[in-house]
Amino acid sequence: MKLLIDMNLSPQWVETLTAEGIDAVHWSKIGSASAPDKELMTWAKENEYIVLTHDLDFGAILASTNAAAPSVLQLRFQDLTPLHAKKIVLRILKDYKSELKHGALISMDEDKARIRILPL
């Protein structure tokens, strides 16, 4: 599993996820910090990465383009630090591994996850 961490999340996520055996890269190492979301989405799709973000725009992009990839994980809570959110993210990655592999938009908070299969 490979995750692309959006600019709105800390680069600390890379170290946290890598320590769990997950291939992770922060967008700041790939593209411009001011790149439009569509550029990040294109790169993620072409390189078979799942996008980890706090941004709601990615769901809108998936819906407007009728895209079947890439999968997107949206964190919908206030404390986005790996220390706080790591267990939640790892649980979602484990519980929805198959759906993420085939294309899904998952919005999660501390208590629940909402999954939508792609294309929307």
Domains, the chain, in order of start with CATH, read: 2-117 (3.40.50)
- Predicted TM-score of the model (pTM): 0.96
Question: Quick one: pLDDT at residue 13?
Answer: 98
Q: Which residue pairs, CB below 8 angstroms and at least 24 apart, start in 108-116? A: 108/73, 108/74, 108/75, 108/76, 108/77, 109/76, 109/77, 110/77
Q: pLDDT tens across 65-97, in order?
A: 999 999 999 999 999 999 999 999 999 999 999
Give me the pLDDT at residue 65, please.
94
User: Which residues in the chain land under pLDDT 50?
Assistant: none
